[in-house]
A = this chain, B = another copy of it.
Amino acid sequence: MSGSNALFIPGPTNVPQAVRAAMDIPQEDQRAPDFPRFTLGLFRDLKKVFKTEPGQVFIFPSSGSGGWEAALTNTLSPGDRVLAAAFGQFSQLWVEMCRRLGLEVEVIDAPWGEGAPVETYAERLAADSGHRIKAVLVCHNETATGVTSDVAGVRHALDAAGHPALLFVDGVSSIASIDFRMDEWGVDVAVTGSQKGFMLPTGLGIVAVSPKALAAAAEAKLPRCYFDFTVMARANKDGYFPYTPATTLMRGLRASVDLLLAEGLENVFARHHRLAEGVRRAVAAWGFSLVARHPRWYSDTVSAIRLPEGQDAGAVVRRAYERYGLSLGVGLSQLAGRVFRIGHLGSLNEVMLLGALAGAELALADCGAAVALGSGVAAAQAFWVELPRHAIAAQ
Contact B352 A4 (CB under 8 A): yes
- Residues facing B in A112-129 (CB within 8 A) are none
Indicate which residue in B12, B26, B373 contacts A382 across the interface (CB closer than 8 Å): B373
Nearest B residue to A314 via CB reads B33
Q: Give which listed residue, B32, B245, B381, contacts A202 with CB less than 8 A.
A: B245
Q: Which residues of B contact A21 (CB under 8 A)?
A: 21, 24-25
Known: A223-B102, A351-B355, A366-B386. A26 touches B3 (CB 8 A): no
Within 8 A of B (CB), among A342-393: 347-359, 361-362, 365-375, 377-379, 381-382, 384-388, 390-392
Q: In chain B, what residue has the closest Cβ to A385? A: B365
Chain B residues contacting A201 (CB-CB under 8 Å) are 27, 246-249
Cα–Cα, bound, A271→B195 (Å): 33
B354 touches A350 (CB 8 A): no
**A25/B17 contact (C-beta < 8 A), A62-B226, A370-B394 known:** yes
A381 to B365, CA, bound (A): 10
Q: Are the CB atoms of A381 and B368 closer together than 8 Å?
A: no
B354 & A359 in contact (Cβ 8 Å cutoff) = yes
A325 with B351, Cβ < 8 A, contacts A26-B15, A391-B370 known: yes
Chain A residues within 8 Å of B, Cβ to Cβ: 1-7, 9, 11-17, 20-21, 23-33, 60-66, 68-69, 73, 78, 97, 100-102, 193, 195, 201-203, 222-228, 242-249, 263, 268, 271, 318, 321-327, 329-330, 347-359, 361-362, 365-375, 377-379, 381-382, 384-388, 390-392, 394-395
Cβ contacts under 8 Å, A382 to chain B: 373
- Rank and list the top 10 A-B pairs by shortest CB-CB distance, nearest first: A374-B378, A355-B355, A3-B349, A354-B358, A351-B359, A12-B27, A374-B374, A29-B327, A373-B381, A65-B243
With both beta carbons as reference points, the residue of chain B lying nearest to A349 in the complex is identified as: B3
- Verify A354–B354 contact, CB threshold 8 A: yes
Query: Complex formed: what's the CA distance from A318 to B29 in Å?
Result: 12
The oligomer's copy count stands at 4
Residues of B within 8 A of A9 (CB): 29, 31
- Contact between B347 and A373 (Cβ–Cβ < 8 Å)? no
Residues of B within 8 A of A33 (CB): 318, 321-322
Residues of B within 8 A of A356 (CB): 351, 355
Take A21-B21, A226-B62, A330-B31 as given contacts and tell me if A366 and B395 are in contact as well, using a CB distance cutoff of 8 Å.
Answer: no
**What is the minimal beta-carbon distance from A1 to any residue of chain B, in angstroms?**
6
Neighbour of A244 across the interface among B12, B25, B249, B354, CB < 8 A:
B12
Of B63, B97, B228, B377, which contacts A61 at CB under 8 A? B63
**Residue pair A349, B247 in contact (C-beta under 8 Å):** no
Q: Are B24 and A14 in contact (CB under 8 A)?
A: no
CB nearest to A351 among chain B residues: B359
Whether B100 lies near A6 (C-beta < 8 A) is: no
* Interchain nearest-CB distance for A2 vs B (Å): 5
Given known pairs A4-B14, A7-B29, A351-B324, the reply for A390 and B368 (CB within 8 Å) is: yes
A216 CB to closest chain B CB, in angstroms? Answer: 17
Flag if A323 contacts B386 (CB, 8 Å).
yes
B378 near A392 (CB under 8 angstroms)? Answer: no
Write out the residue numbers on chain B whose beta carbons fall within 8 Å of the beta carbon of A25.
17, 21
- Asked if B348 and A2 sit within 8 Å, CB to CB, the answer is yes
Q: Which chain B positions have C-beta within 8 A of A6?
A: 351-352
